[in-house]
Chains A and B, each alone.
Chain A
Amino acid sequence: MTHQALELIRLNNLQLVAKIVSDAMWTGLHWGKRIGSGTEFEQYKHYEPGDDPKMIDWKLFARSNRYQVRESNIESHLNIRFLVDGSGSMNYKEDGVSRLDYVKILAASLAYLGHQQNDKMSLFVLQNGQMEMKVPAKGHSFQRILVQLESLKAEGKWGNMDPDLPELNSRQKELIFFFSDLFQIDEEWIRLIQSMVSNKREIIIFQILGDHELDFSLKKGMYRFEDLESNRTVELQTKQVATAYRKSISHFLTDLDRELNLPRVRLFRCRLSDPVENILLAYLTSKQKKS
């Protein structure tokens, strides 16, 4: 069963939504437990040939004269960063679903998955040429990410500049989820992504676009297009400009595909009408690019 973004938004509870989406996604997929050595104790089991003798709990052997292997869940040392574009264009709304709402659900669902495997997670919002850390990579980050996501408002613009972002200079192994529409004045988003590329970093970009933005499928007639990031308005007959628009957007998208064809960078383009779990599934089942 798939869920339209609108239904999920109406729930108005990101935690629940994240769970629903993730659960729906796992329908039919086997979720095997990953057991190994870790700090947190999970269970004892009898030693069997093949088990690492190092894992035998010798203290227990001293007490009970039994070879028991101490097990715990494997701890992930993956550092996940959620980068959310907070510019005004994220407020673009189609059929009641705004781009930001969609991003919130998508990010929350990913965070839920990360939470389940104990990943370190942090949340950053890109706004007005600055990258603001909303949630640091500490404990209980899942709840904090949800809280921050719920209160997130998109406004202003990213601006055509290349800010120096020290947060991105870490040498840690990390996974970056970047949510944006990638609408740019020059090539500022592309430059930002290119600057983030590193050996230790995997970058997953979710480009979320509306149907009208992709196909210009507005009904015939006069429309007043109001820029979400400035006060500029343009009044146009859709019929007059449809062909030119479609041409330039497809040009933009092919350019983007070409520019972002980088090692360890994956771009997922989704429509606001796509069910969120489909996007998640597309990401999780896609093959990791060989670097």
Chain B
Amino acid sequence: MSLAHPLWLLGTLAVLIPLLIHLWSQKRGKQVAWAAMKFLPQVDHLRSRGWRLNHILLLLVRCAMIMLLSLILTGLFLKNPPFSTDKKIIHLVETDSQLLANFAFELEQAKTAGECVYGIGQKDNSFEAIADFDKIISAPHWISALHELEADEVHLYLSSTSFLLPKQPIDLPYPIIFHVYDKLDQDFVVQKKLQLPNNQSLFISQSGELTLDESNSVNAIKNIPISKLYYAHDFTIQEEINTIHSMIRSIEEVYDLELEEAGEGLNSTRIKLFFTDQQPEKVETEVLYFVFGHVGHPSHPQIIQLAERPHPSSKWVKDGTLPERILDGLLQHLGLEKQSSQLSMAQIKAHFNTPSETKASNSFPLKTFLFVLLIIFTGIERSMAIPRQL
């Protein structure tokens, strides 16, 4: 943030306000020759006359306050510039028809504003109508082309499944504004799904959500048939037992999984899930252990450790995340994993080191300093003004 920034200079014009007020208050009152002086209240003789020193000091403090305020406000505006003055902005667009359709408006806007729009990848005639690129950068060379771009700001349009991202994070001299399009892969195939006994299936969709398919219509590469799951627990406190039961019931209701308590306890051979608060001495095959109230790395892949106890006062019970945590472990045990290739905005950003972020973190203490200074000046101003009733 340069001190000569036009916005700040504009802000400093506000210094005129206290100056004008000062001059106005210096203005002499209407002159009246008066005889009945005795009856005029004897108030503030201090403010009677002239450019007193303390008046000028107060004026300076007030001017400084305005300058600081305008500095701080300018800083705020510069972070989100209200208007781009003569910045050179380049739009880099992955040539993908869905992406182009999604950002057609933005690109049209950019074109009307006279900004450069470069395509990355093979030119495809199908979307030529949407955006007429100024230049096409071929996909293999675009990373090196990035370094050569002379721009103040680059807008990068990528799809979330983009193959264009660099392997290593690269340093760039200009800030990048990312526009990520969450592209749905048409070729997406469900890898695994759980075949539920009642002709339903449970799988993880492309967007990473656990989905219940009632008509059993989705094809999957691997079907895992699943029957009724028996579970047992060794809790003795009634409240904790209730929590376990209600948690099981909620999983049942939402995802149609059939879970049933095995009456016989741990000795039953049918049980698949076991809820306990102690580390199991012996791990049975095909049994998944949920150990409550333990922290640390589990000693066996069939043991899932949970930090909180299933008591109603526990944090997870309160915020309702306990069934989710149990279900996560259960699905993983059953072989249903997230397989999304979608990249989030943060993941894409992590591939680029841009100056905007480092700059923001650097200017933070300066801003705090200015703010503290403003508070100090306000204090000084008040302490000077209040005793004199100015």
- Mark A residues whose CB is within 8 Å of B: 88-93, 99, 181, 183-185, 213, 218, 221-229, 232-236, 240-241, 244-245, 248-249, 252
Contact = CB atoms under 8 A, between A and B. Distances in A.
B48 A233 contact: yes
B43 A249 contact: no
Contacts of B167: none
B34 A226 contact: yes
B30 interface: yes
Contacts of A185: 38
A163 to B, nearest CB: 21
Interface string B31-58: 1111111111111010111000000000
11 contacts: A184-B38, A213-B36, A223-B30, A227-B37, A228-B34, A234-B40, A234-B48, A235-B48, A240-B41, A244-B41, A252-B38
Given A92-B35, A213-B35, A218-B32, A225 B48 contact: no
Contacts of A236: 29, 40-41, 43
A225 B32 contact: yes
Interface residues of B, number: 21
Contacts of A91: 33, 35
A184 to B, nearest CB: 8
Contact of A226 (B33, B36, B41, B42): B33
A240 B30 contact: no
A243 to B, nearest CB: 9
Interface in B43-75: 43, 45, 47-49
A91 B45 CA distance: 25
Given A244-B41, A249-B39, A252-B39, A93 B33 contact: yes
Contact of B33 (A221, A228, A244): A228
Contacts of A223: 29-32
Given A223-B29, A240-B43, A241-B43, A234 B36 contact: no
Interface string B207-243: 0000000000000000000000000000000000000
A250 to B, nearest CB: 10
A245 B41 contact: yes
Given A89-B36, A181-B36, A236-B29, 13 more contacts: A183-B36, A213-B35, A218-B32, A221-B30, A225-B37, A226-B31, A227-B37, A228-B33, A228-B34, A228-B35, A234-B42, A244-B41, A245-B40
Contacts of A225: 32, 34, 37, 40
B318 interface: no
B48 A241 contact: no
Contacts of A222: 27-30
- Please classify the interface of chain A as helix (H, G, I), strand (E, B), loop, or mixed, using the class held by over half of its residues: mixed
B47 to A, nearest CB: 7
Contacts of B40: 225, 234, 236, 241, 245
Interface of B: 27-43, 45, 47-49
B327 to A, nearest CB: 74
Contacts of B31: 223-224, 226
A232 to B, nearest CB: 7
Contact of A227 (B34, B43, B49): B34
Would you list the 5 A-B pairs with minimal beta carbon distance, nearest first? A222-B29, A89-B35, A225-B34, A92-B35, A224-B29
A92 B43 contact: no
B32 A224 contact: yes
A218 B49 CA distance: 22
Contact of A248 (B29, B39, B47): B39
Nearest to A240: B43
Contacts of B49: 235
Given A221-B29, A224-B30, A233-B48, A241 B35 contact: no
A279 B49 CA distance: 42
Nearest to A89: B35
A267 B27 CA distance: 42
A252 B29 CA distance: 27
Contacts of A183: 35-36, 38
Most chain B CB within a 10 A radius of its CB, from A225, A244, A252? A225
Nearest to A218: B32
Contact of B35 (A181, A218, A234, A244): A181
Nearest to A91: B33
Nearest to A87: B35
Nearest to A88: B35
Nearest to A226: B33
Contacts of B33: 91-93, 226, 228
Nearest to A249: B39
A226 B32 contact: yes
Given A224-B28, A224-B30, A226-B31, A235 B39 contact: no
Contacts of A221: 29-30
A255 B35 CA distance: 18
A245 B215 CA distance: 93
Most chain A CB within a 10 A radius of its CB, from B31, B33, B34, B45? B34
A182 to B, nearest CB: 10
A230 to B, nearest CB: 8
B24 to A, nearest CB: 10
B39 A92 contact: no
A249 B36 contact: yes
Contacts of B41: 236, 240-241, 244-245, 248
Nearest to A212: B32
Contacts of A226: 31-34
Given A225-B40, A245-B40, A252-B39, A92 B48 contact: no
A78 B314 CA distance: 113
A239 to B, nearest CB: 12
A99 B36 CA distance: 13
A221 B45 CA distance: 17
B21 to A, nearest CB: 14
A226 B33 CA distance: 5
